Structure 1
């Protein structure tokens, strides 16, 4: 299978890799470690990308983008994730918050929010999941009640990545009760600096900033904070999912680590069990499968015809790849003598930790299978 995206994409990969080698420390394992300097590195790197018009390449120029193709933006996604996401949390704003505001925001919201994302100056978090509404998101209890020309929001969100460092929250709340639980939901764009918002970190093996509880206690919002139409937020949520689930090129890091393994082990590679090397080869083919499925969704997004089943199928494949490749890589590095190739060992261990949550985050794999099954049944009936 030929995945060559052309000469321009090859040159872009070279430029991105050169910038990473020049500006990112050789032992970098992501922005959200116990060392605050790693987040600073990521924020500086984002500004560098923005200055070179590489951060939001496929955005229209009027919104601070580079007017490039979605395929060039795909190259950026792949190179960033393969190198431990040196943009930090900016991928959220770049991949889906910005595009969703372009589609559904007012001109004032676009003027307020898009330039700071395009220049790499702002971090967003997503206020979706709740203690009683994770995979079944439409069951959320956070409420917004009418008060004068606005609303008062009360409730709790959980598993909110980057809430401790984010300046803005893309918040989903219930504004009314409808015949179906998906009705009566509204999106609000709210500043995390508001004193009515409290953030409590949840410590995990993935490091700081990844998981948090967020509490809203009589948070005052206005009509200007509403994204889209009141009570019609579920259609925006579906749009978010189509962008979000393909936004992280997980297959790129899997393939980079798998490809590096034989060279890292050297002569010890031939001493590995044949069964393990066979699983390693299988994981490489699964990387190619996930890449092809991602490219299909990107192509559909470009024409505006993405369906839930399309993103669900890709999400199932790539999250299973994440976990299965992590297990194979952990067995491979177990053959390394202690003290040798420590950075590669740390890369693999970091990949394994992240992979444990991959089939839960952004919609559990069980929910993705349900979505895919429904889509296949609907197609069979037509």
Structure 2
């Protein structure tokens, strides 16, 4: 039976979006998101701050920290309606969806008081300092170091693939704070301001033409000694907890976005005659069925999380999205090979989706996690990076 309060909330969300995605904000529909985060950043920032003014940030945060304290069902409803309205991607996902819940769980009262309000109001933007040139999938081998110098941490090292660092104010950094330590031991989770002489941010130009990823170099960068989240040396626990927040209710909104992409591709295939090919028609229908199965599994996982559910979900949606991009190129035919002057929507989808099975934990890592932690199969030989990460 449908909960009438949830349906009332759905109408509230839909009505608000209809009333506010107008005028200058109407032009932002569909902008932003993976592979397109460079689009209309300042305009999307203004939109995100409007959301904050009307109480549409921190939906699942406890009310004592300024959040709405909404149920999981209501959070799902918001993300579904947000995606259906084609509203632009928000600009502070890492702050609101990842760091905020992490500070609520592990932060000191002072850290919560300092940072949670500016995350909610979208006054300060955050990025994530995890991956390094030699520690991408094997996150436990990070070599960025931090040492105490009086009342400050001094940070030296390099991070890479740092989304939106060039437009962020702060970065949360996994750094090695215990000399001689290795793997998960001796790591700490630090909050570091980006606007300082000891930090250099270098954007990385992508095949899609954007530069949302960056290299971040730390050379004697400093942050206050009290800006370590959790205990010193216990950063691995905090970092893994943060990643657990990454795949939450917003995945349902992601799937609504996938549904729109698939529907639009069906329209293209129908318009140019590609859908008359039985093989193309079959592939389109298969993607539709798989997407519905994804939705059912996502809802089931939210209600009763099972071991390995996050890894299964990542494997499924990443490979589904890649197949969508591949099919888009087949639907476009020879015109899909032309870049004039920039990649169009479908070309960007195809190119960026090649990374879907790598970032956020590669396919190999997800399969190792499922094999070892869920199925109880023997571990891979110690030498392989994927085996090391699966043990982390």
What residue number does 1:331 align with? Answer: 330
Spell out, residue by residue over 1:247-275, the C-alpha distance to the aligned partner (whole angstroms, 9 max, x if none).
45432222112123444555655852111
Per mean C-alpha deviation after superposition, the further-off stretch among 62-71 and 194-203 is: 62-71
Aligned residue runs from structure 1 range 316-355, under 5 A: 316-334=315-333, 346-355=344-353
Asked if the contact 1:155–1:215 (Cα under 8 Å) also holds between the matched residues in 2, the reply is yes
What root-mean-square deviation, in Å, do the aligned CA atoms of Structure 1 and Structure 2 show? 3.3
Aligned residue runs from structure 1 range 69-108, under 5 A: 69-80=71-82, 86-108=88-110
Spell out, residue by residue over 1:114-147, the C-alpha distance to the aligned partner (whole angstroms, 9 max, x if none).
1111112221100000000000000010011232
CA distance in 2, matches of 1:354, 1:17: 28
What residue number does 1:241 align with? Answer: 243
What residue number does 2:385 align with? Answer: none
Alignment match of 2:290 (pick from 286, 291, 296): 286
Q: Give the CA deviation at 1:374.
A: 1.6
Secondary structure of 2:27's counterpart equals coil
Going from structure 1 to structure 2, the CA distance change for 1:295 and 1:268 (only over 3 Å counts) comes to: same
What residue number does 1:124 align with? Answer: 126
Q: Once superposed, which parts of structure 1, at least 4 consecutive aligned residues long, lie more than 6 Å away?
A: 31-37, 82-85
CA distance in 2, matches of 1:197, 1:137: 21
What residue number does 1:342 align with? Answer: none
Alignment match of 1:57 (pick from 52, 56, 59): 59
Alignment match of 2:368 (pick from 362, 367, 370): 370
CA distance in 1, matches of 2:35, 2:53: 26
TM-score where L is the length of structure 1: 0.85
Secondary structure of 1:89's counterpart equals coil
What residue number does 1:361 align with? Answer: 359
What residue number does 1:203 align with? Answer: 205
Q: How many residues align?
A: 368
CA distance in 2, matches of 1:242, 1:264: 37
Asked if the contact 1:34–1:208 (Cα under 8 Å) also holds between the matched residues in 2, the reply is yes
Spell out, residue by residue over 1:282-328, the C-alpha distance to the aligned partner (whole angstroms, 9 max, x if none).
1112212222333344335xxxx775x22111111111111112222
CA distance in 1, matches of 2:36, 2:255: 26
Aligned residue runs from structure 1 range 1-382, under 5 A: 6-8=6-8, 10-12=10-12, 14-15=14-15, 17-18=17-18, 19-20=20-21, 23-25=25-27, 28-30=30-32, 38-80=40-82, 86-176=88-178, 181-246=183-248, 247-248=250-251, 249-263=253-267, 266=270, 271-299=275-303, 309-334=308-333, 346-378=344-376
The runs of 5 or more residues in structure 1 that have no matched partner are: 338-344
